[in-house]
Amino acid sequence: MVLLWNEFRGTFVGGHEMYQILTDSECDLPAKFLEENNVKAIYFHTEIDGKELVNDFGKSYSLDKFYEQIKAGVLPSTTQVNVGEYLEFFKKYVEKKMAIVYVGFSGGLSGSMSSARQAKEILLEDFPEADIRIVDTLAASGGEGRLLLEAIRLQKTGASLDDLVSWFDQNKLRLQQWFTVDNLTYLYHGGRISRASATLGTLLKVKPLLDVDPAGKLRFVSKIRTRKKSLLTLAEKVVTAVQNDPDQPIIITTSGDWDAAELVKQHIVSQIPKADIQVNPIGMTISSHTGFGCVAVFALGTQDRQ
């Protein structure tokens, strides 16, 4: 096997460029899966009653316990990953002359993406030949995870770093991501809706359908009167999105309502029997803004979302 070295542009093994894929804990993919695919993650933070919790895929703080707390009405706060944390995260690879690509949480939902870009510019002052790519997925939760699956697939099939970034530029808006929540209080607490809307919606048992716009920001799509109907609507959105590629991975995530997530899964399977579906927990950061019972679905469609 021929080994070629191109300084600061990555290692080439057997003609394939090697680069490190990085992400963050908002991708909501299993930690074991990331480890098996050599993807490294930086962790977001959440705070409850003055105690800082690390959103490390449930390793240091039980997600089930966290879900119980928000179900009981606890209102956590969240903080973005700062520039210093990204500097430390990226630098260990840059110092080894490894090319890196950070596939991260939507800049439309968090200032962390801006911090990552600032860290890149600071590192380039000391390592001007470093190859650091920043990809804003414009996605959240399993949406970021769904796009990360594509990054892993591309790397495994021998795609260069340029090709990988180009794929994201051309395809990331094809991601369809739909959400519903069971408690409007958390959307109000996070500044997504007004107090009046939250109060009236709760009284009328409104279950909102939300998605993420092309700028990576959360938006309301419609109001649905029952929980079950909102869940079935999620399933139908996925079935429509994947009709031209029904074998693709589909991700469902939930902040603790596993029965609701299973209902969505089974409705999809009833129409696509061999659907490749994984159901994952939503991490503490996003759950802090959705409350208990959020269910979300993610798949690649054929058209860019508008």
- The H-assigned helical ranges of the chain are 31-36, 63-71, 83-94, 112-126, 142-156, 161-171, 185-189, 195-203, 227-241, 258-271, 284-290
Tens-digit pLDDT profile for residues 184-222 = 777 766 665 666 565 556 655 778 899 999 999 988 888
- State the Cα–Cα distance between residues 275 and 269, nearest whole angstrom: 6
Instruction: Give residues with Cβ within 8 angstroms of 215, minimum separation 6.
Output: 108, 138
- Residue 187's pLDDT is what? 73
Tens-digit pLDDT profile for residues 101-140 = 999 999 999 999 999 999 999 999 999 999 999 999 999 9
- State the Cα–Cα distance between residues 31 and 137, nearest whole angstrom: 19
Q: What's the pLDDT band for 1 if we cut at 50, 70, 90?
A: very low
Whether pLDDT at 286 is above 90:
yes
Burial profile 139-160: b = 16 or more Cβ within 10 angstroms, e = fewer: bbbbbbbbbbbbbbebbeeebb
- Residue 197's pLDDT is what? 61
Domains along the chain with CATH numbers: 20-172 (3.40.50.10170), 174-300 (3.30.1180.10)
Whether pLDDT at 13 is above 60:
no
Average pLDDT across the chain, whole number: 91
- Residue 202's pLDDT is what? 60
- State the Cα–Cα distance between residues 258 and 134, nearest whole angstrom: 33
- Of 58-62, 127-131, 191-195, 225-229, the range with the lowest mean pLDDT is 191-195
Q: Mean pLDDT across the stretch 257-284?
A: 98
Tokens coding 284: 């503490």
Q: Which residues pair with 212 in a beta bridge?
A: 218
Whether pLDDT at 47 is above 90:
yes
Q: What's the pLDDT band for 9 if we cut at 50, 70, 90?
A: very low
What single-letter amino acid sits at 57? F
**Whole-structure pTM value:** 0.92
